[in-house]
Structure 1
Amino acid sequence: MAPAGTDAARDLGPVPAGLLGPAPAAAEQREAARLACSASGRLRARVPELSDRLVADVLAEDPLYLEFVSREDFWESVRDSLEAGIEQMARRARGQRPDLSVAERIGRRRAEQGLPLESLLRCYRIGGRIVWEALIEVVAEDDPDALSVLLRYASTVWHTIELQSTVVSEVYRRTESELLRRSGERVQALLDALLEGRGADGGLAQAAAAALDLPEHGRYAIAVLRSPRRDPGLERPERIGALRLVWRIRTDAEICVVSLGELGLDEVIEALGPLVPGDAGISTVADGLAGLGRARWLAEIALATCPAGDRRIVRLDDRLPTALVAAQPELAGLLGTQVLGPLAELDAADRDVLLETLETWLECEGSAMRTAGRLYCHRNTVFNRLRRLEQLTNRSLQRPRDVVELTLALDATRLAAPA
């Protein structure tokens, strides 16, 4: 195939002298120009025949070509390239700048169609051979004695074909990079729309399923990882065993969409454990991509139940009472102030001892003996601290409603504490 856009020539900058071939002596230059112009007219008439031959030769070596390009499209592009190349021989012989517009257009289109660059360049190599052979044939028919001049002109022909292949390759790679960038941006935009809760919009979940290569109606969970700064060393695999993972990095957190298949949330925690250097919250199971927005919110609430620096992966369904507090920070603050506010008058160390004793007593399911063992003190000390707490808050640990208020107020206080 032969060259063809002025625009591409400008993109590539000045054409190196080597690519345009060595300059023959003045007389030979004039003879070569005459020969090229004469031969180009004969070759134009043979373009349909040469196009058939080139298409057949390419498909014989690369039968998968037609998986990316229709036969009609392939033949038409071959015809256009041959016509441009034949014209180019005459232009080059007259010392004119190369026109690379056809090569530029073909490189862009083949990249958009996904044809491998290797296949495209193979086509140009075969095309160069066919053009050269046809040129020899027409010159031999018209003026056999001119073949020696043609041989001296060969370097110009082949350097021109090389220039065309270079332009095709450059435009192909630029287009491929642009397509990858656009594809990545589209995938991220679709994922963001799902995570923002717009999955119920018509067609969005279906489009996202195709772009992300995920089942539209599968089982999903969301994990939100607290990451004040992006950790470049953090692994973000696309698969862990049977789990499929899709990551979305944000400034204050990282979101991991987990396609569960038949697995459960325990397998998610086990899989993410080695990857998560800090805290993470995991949602309940969501049904389909349309439910990812709600799942993200639930995962963020789960993460909010875990004080910063705890370095834990928590499931929402394991921390629902605390999640209620975390989901309503203003009400939680009001509850903490109303129930535990009197403790603010105490010395900080004294207040911390009472709160730690209450928290441990709740974790030990109301057993003073186990609480004392955890705190390395006598059980009477535990009773004394709890009795004092009851007096200060005007709540009784014998009344279930008061225990609920103290528990939620303690959660609110812990969650509001600075990291």
Structure 2
Amino acid sequence: MLAEAAHSLLGMVDELAERAHLESQLKEAAYRELVDPDEHLEACRKTMTLVLNELALIPNVDLADTLAYIGRRRVRQGVGMDAMLHSFRIDFQIAGEALFAWLSTRPPDITTQWTDFVLPLWRAIDKISVVVSEAYRDAETELADELERDARALFHELLHGTGPMSAVVRRAASRLGLGERGQYVVVRADEDAPNQLVESALRKLGHRSVWLHDASLLTGIVVLGVGGYAQLRGCLTDSLHTRVGASPIYHALEDTRHLVWLADAARDASPPGRHTVIMAAEDIPSVFVGAAPEITRHLANNLAASLRAARPPERARLLETVQAQLSGDGSPTTTARELYRHRNTVLNHIRRFEELTGLDLSRPADVATAVLSLRALHRLAPQNEPTAFP
């Protein structure tokens, strides 16, 4: 009897589809705003045909393909799954009402058999709902993968592309959630860094950021909020337990391509495996060391060779004293206080360092050489007697 009713209603598919279309347009804003009316009407016609064929025991050879197409279309149109399933329920409701209306026109002894309609109708509805839901979820995954690939390509173009920047910047500002102007910092870290952790930590502090794992590196573009550069350093130190380098602040997104090398140089100023955060704007000597490996090797080798005449314990003391002296305010008194040593001991260490290296730490040029040489020796410590370090 149900098959007979479904057969008879197949001739009314257009009318039933029109009712379902109008009802969905009325009750679902997503369908009014995101789905072309003619396309939705055709989808209602197909759905209604599928339901009735299922009940009429007519093979639906294209059931999965049809429903998969509808599910994929709704994902790409931005229709939520709840809205889509509500629209399908409207289709099912109108089909069910038509079936029971047909049953009400039958003789009295038949009209009482409405329960024979309920279970098969429910099974048909459940089957179609499951198929379209699975298709929707699969399409969501596909779309997310496509968007991720697009975002990665866009991020890579922003960092390393060679084409015109204007179009890339506009797309990046929109797709990655960045403005075209603001306070930006590029961050580069070794590949094992957990970007979700740092992104969440930055967001809590009011800083937006986007991150990309690429070519064994983690790259981030941070849009600074209140707190700025100093707060960024603390967050990177707490969140990324590896080598990290950050560029100076810049104000146009299109300059990202020209600033990323500074972040790389800051990161490369430390030996691999160290947990360090170097901010390029605050430590130019380290950036120089990271950016110029040949000069770095030359300076480190020269300093190591000069200090080889001293025994290892003495080398360690000299390096500790001179490092403190050059990192502070230049006062031996301050250095002595910091190292808990007598001022005369500090002066003796400085004189001994000058004697061994030929540098005069009262001359600015020699101070610059000493600072860079110490940074270089630190950078290449695994190859240059790490025991020389305190």
**TM-score of the superposed pair, with normalisation by structure 2:** 0.84
1:413 shift after superposition? 1.2
Aligned counterparts, 1:201-350, within 5 A:
201=165, 203-226=167-190, 229-230=192-193, 234-237=197-200, 239-249=203-213, 253-260=217-224, 264-277=228-241, 279-306=243-270, 311-338=275-302, 341-350=305-314
Alignment of 1:68 with 2:57, yes or no, is no
Question: In the TM superposition, what is the alpha-carbon distance from 1:77 to its structure 2 partner?
Answer: 1.0
Matched with 2:122 is 158
2: distance between equivalents of 1:380 and 1:316?
35
Q: Given the alignment, which residue of 5, 13, 16 partners 1:47?
A: 13
Gapped runs of 5+ residues in structure 2? none
CA contact (8 A) 1:32 1:149 kept: no
In 1: Cα distance, 2:195 partner to 2:288 partner: 34
Letter in 2 for 1:212: L
Q: Is the Cα contact below 8 Å between 1:199 and 1:290 reproduced in 2?
A: no
Offset at residue 49 of structure 1 (A) = 2.0
Worse overlay, 273-282 or 326-335:
273-282
| Residue 373 of structure 1: how far off its partner (Å) | 3.2
Secondary structure (helix, strand or coil) at the match of 2:278 reads strand
Q: Does 2:58 match 1:110?
A: no
Larger radius of gyration: 1
- Give, as a single letter, the amino acid of the residue that structure 2 aligns with 1:401: A
- Aligned residue type for 1:381: T
Query: Which residue is equivalent to 2:348?
Result: 384
Unaligned 5+ residue runs, structure 1? 1-30
SS in 2 for 1:215: coil
Contact 2:270–2:290 at 8 Å: present in 1 too? no
* Residue number in structure 2 paired with 1:79: 45
**TM-aligned CA deviation for residue 171 of structure 1:** 0.8
Distance 2:290 2:10 in 1: 78
| Partner SS for 1:91 | coil
The normalised TM-score by structure 1 is 0.79
Per-residue deviation at 1:307?
5.7
Q: Does residue 57 in structure 1 map to residue 23 in structure 2?
A: yes
TM-aligned CA deviation for residue 121 of structure 1: 1.6
- 1:47/1:406 CA distance change after superposition, 3 Å: same
CA separation of 1:325 and 1:273: change in aligned 2, threshold 3 A: closer
CA distance in 2, matches of 1:83, 1:119: 21
Distance in 1 (CA, whole Å) between partners of 2:273 and 2:61 is: 65
Rounded to whole Å, the distance in 1 between the matches of 2:329 and 2:373 is: 17
Q: Which amino acid aligns with 2:349?
A: R
Tell me if the contact between 2:307 and 2:356 (Cα under 8 Å) persists in the aligned partners.
Answer: yes
1:287 maps to a residue whose letter is H
Q: Distance in 2 between matches of 1:277 and 1:312?
A: 8
How many percent identity over aligned positions?
A: 30
CA offset at residue 143 of structure 1? 6.8
RMSD after superposition:
3.2
Q: Is the contact between residue 245 and residue 278 of structure 2 (CA under 8 Å) also seen in structure 1?
A: yes
Equivalent-residue separation in structure 1 for 2:94 and 2:269 (angstroms): 72
What CA distance in whole angstroms lies between the structure 2 residues aligned with 1:107 and 1:84? 15
C-alpha displacement at 1:183, in angstroms?
1.5
SS in 2 for 1:236: helix
The structural deviation recorded for 1:209 is 1.8
User: Partners in 1 of 2:151 and 2:342 — Cα distance?
Assistant: 60
Q: Secondary structure at the match of 1:346?
A: coil
User: Which digits, 9 at most, give the CA deviation of each residue in 1:113-142, with x for residues without a partner?
Assistant: 121111222222222221122234446558
**Retained in 2: the 8 A contact 1:199–1:291?**
no
Q: Give the match for residue 20 of structure 1.
A: none
- What is the distance in 1 between the residues matched to 2:288 and 2:195? 34
Show CA shifts across 1:10-38 (max 9, x none).
xxxxxxxxxxxxxxxxxxxxx655x24xx
Q: Which has the higher contact order (CA 8 A, sep 6+)?
A: 1
| Aligned-residue offset at 1:252 | 5.3
Contact 1:369 1:379 survives alignment (8 Å)? yes
